[in-house]
Structure 1
Amino acid sequence: MGKVNPCLKRSYVIVTSLIAILSALLLALTLFSHGYFHEDEEMERMITGIKAMYIISIITLLLTITGVYGACKERQWALIVYVVGMSLSSLFMFACEIQGLAVRPQVVKDMKNQYLAMLPLDNTSEPFLDSFMDIQIELQCCGLDQGYLDWGYNISESCVCTEESTNPCVAAPRNSALYEHTFSDQPIMIYREPCLPYLIEHIMMNINSVMGIMLGLTLFWVLSVVLCIVILCRLSRKEDIPPVVYSPEAKAGNYTVLLTDAAEYT
């Protein structure tokens, strides 16, 4: 069995330990999310993703423990288990990322249909209205698809522009509920742009960020697999044994003395 370069072994242990830490954090986040959304109405739709996170984090954590053990004790079977397991996991992650890129247009379409089903806004559910008003304030927009027209007569006060507003504003219609409690002739300015494009852009940005993080983690996994393969190659290499060269002159004096002494005693 060959010897492994200490720098190579140290690099592999560091990379694998970082993967183990990230896997432990992912497992903790999964446990927290499972407990936090346990009684949520959307739990049935989220349970598949939570189960996948459980499987990925636990398997990765076990593989990294096996890999570090194999590197420290120079056990080839443990390193082979790590290479096979992490290679399959990396291929699975690459497949998920490719599938995620392929279904993004469908995600946008489903998102539009889901939000448009909430129209008209003055007749939708109270929980959705409460969260949507916060979205209007945060994104500086009004309505979903056709701006303030989606509110009908009861335009929300969350549509009113503030002094810090950066998005374009327009004057609210005089026949809207915003003018019921005001006696000023000054127009009330509200956000002109609908919220649906901002919502889609915001959610897609989050999806792209998650996919970028997943790609970075997968490449990190691949790096650890490459280092592990190099270690296996070093362990499989036979040690170089210096050749033994016979010389007729070696110890010639000793042999001559022994033969002379033996002749004297005979």
Structure 2
Amino acid sequence: MGKGSVWLKWSYIGAISVIAGIGVLMLGFTLFSHGYLMHEEELESLVTGFHFAYGFISITLLLTIIGGFGVWKEKKWALIVFTVGMILCTLYLIANEVGLLIVPSQLKVLLEDDYLSMLPLSKVNVTEIAHLNNTQSELKCCGLLSYRDWDYNIPKSCLCAENSLNPCVAAPRNSSLFIEDRIVMIYAKPCLSIITAQAMKTIHIASGILMGLILLWVGSIASCIAILCQLNKKMETPKVVYSSEAKAGNYTSLMEAPDTEIT
């Protein structure tokens, strides 16, 4: 390749190296998540997602190896395999991106319906109580729509921390937290609005990351196609062939040099 092609070649190698690095990080995160959720009840519903993740990451890593081999050895078949495979992977990412753009409105409704089905909170089971207590402690909130969702049996996870910056209100006098001659403060904000807001924020962040991956994948495809085009236009050096007709002395003078007189 020419001098300009060298820069294109190294930019392509840099792009697929970044993709390979991201693939390794994604594989590590997926393995960690799979192991962490191994004994969780929700794992059965996530198994298909883990399988898709393993397959996508493995194919991506394999394609980067093939693409690196193709550009280093200038093998057109390897670059073509990389291009076709990455185009299919990009279409998969675009489908997921479209899904993330559609999901937020539906997810918000599903989350609200799921949590509201727990009302009244005084009748939830032990597992749901533990989940709600953790949520209230982390998000500094109380109840789903209001602290009144707990009726009089307000849990200690609703207690306001000292010097809390979150708005707090006095616990009702008929609640289990009420202490005579002492004001007990609990968090005023309900949890459901905070939960849905955090879920929407997470989806938007995931959508932005996915868009960045799509652009990186598309960039590697464009670089690979450009390299393929240059390989097709590559000029071969003409071979030097010896001819018996090319002999020394087979030349004639076009005109005689004039004689010069020396005086």
Instruction: Tell me the TM-score range normalised by the shorter chain.
Output: 0.7 to 0.9
Query: Where does residue 85 of structure 1 map in the other structure?
Result: 85
Query: Where does residue 165 of structure 2 map in the other structure?
Result: 166
Query: Where does residue 262 of structure 1 map in the other structure?
Result: none
Q: Deviations over 1:4-61 (max 9, x none)?
A: 7211111111110110121122122222222222221101111121111111101111
Query: Where does residue 152 of structure 2 map in the other structure?
Result: 153
Which of 216, 222, 232 in structure 2 is aligned with 1:220?
216
SS of the residue 2:177 aligns to: helix
SS of the residue 1:170 aligns to: strand
Which of 179, 183, 191 in structure 1 is aligned with 2:180?
183
Query: Where does residue 246 of structure 1 map in the other structure?
Result: none
| Superposition map of 1:45-194 within 5 A | 45-145=45-145, 147-179=146-178, 182-184=179-181, 186-194=182-190
Q: 2 CA distance for matches of 1:56 and 1:13?
A: 20
Q: 2 CA distance for matches of 1:70 and 1:229?
A: 12
Task: Using the TM superposition, name which of 78-87 and 39-48 deviates more.
Answer: 39-48
- Offset at residue 256 of structure 1 (A): 5.0
- Offset at residue 252 of structure 1 (A): 11
Pick closer, same or farther for the CA change 1:239–1:140 going to 2, 3 Å.
same
Question: Are residue 207 (structure 1) and residue 203 (structure 2) matched?
Answer: yes
SS of the residue 1:58 aligns to: helix
SS of the residue 1:39 aligns to: coil
The percent of aligned pairs where both chains have the same amino acid is 44
SS of the residue 1:41 aligns to: coil
Query: Where does residue 245 of structure 1 map in the other structure?
Result: none
- Offset at residue 80 of structure 1 (A): 0.6
Q: 2 CA distance for matches of 1:54 and 1:253?
A: 71
Q: Deviations over 1:81-120 (max 9, x none)?
A: 1111101111121121112211221111111111111222
Q: Is the 8 A contact 1:140 1:165 kept in 2?
A: no
Query: Where does residue 255 of structure 1 map in the other structure?
Result: 250
TM-score, structure 1 normalization: 0.85
Alignment root-mean-square deviation, CA: 2.2
Query: Where does residue 38 of structure 1 map in the other structure?
Result: 38
- Offset at residue 183 of structure 1 (A): 3.1
Q: 2 CA distance for matches of 1:191 and 1:23?
A: 42
- Offset at residue 160 of structure 1 (A): 1.7
Q: What amino acid sits opposite 2:232 in the alignment?
A: S
Segments of 4+ in structure 1 off by > 4 A? Answer: none
Query: Where does residue 236 of structure 1 map in the other structure?
Result: 232
SS of the residue 1:118 aligns to: coil
Q: Deviations over 1:174-227 (max 9, x none)?
A: 111112xx332x422211111000011112211211121111111111111111
- Offset at residue 253 of structure 1 (A): 8.2
Q: 2 CA distance for matches of 1:18 and 1:193?
A: 43
Q: 2 CA distance for matches of 1:50 and 1:253?
A: 77
Q: Deviations over 1:64-89 (max 9, x none)?
A: 11000000000001001111110111
Q: Is the 8 A contact 1:141 1:159 kept in 2?
A: yes
SS of the residue 2:169 aligns to: strand
The structure whose RCO (Cα within 8 Å, separation 6+) is larger is 1
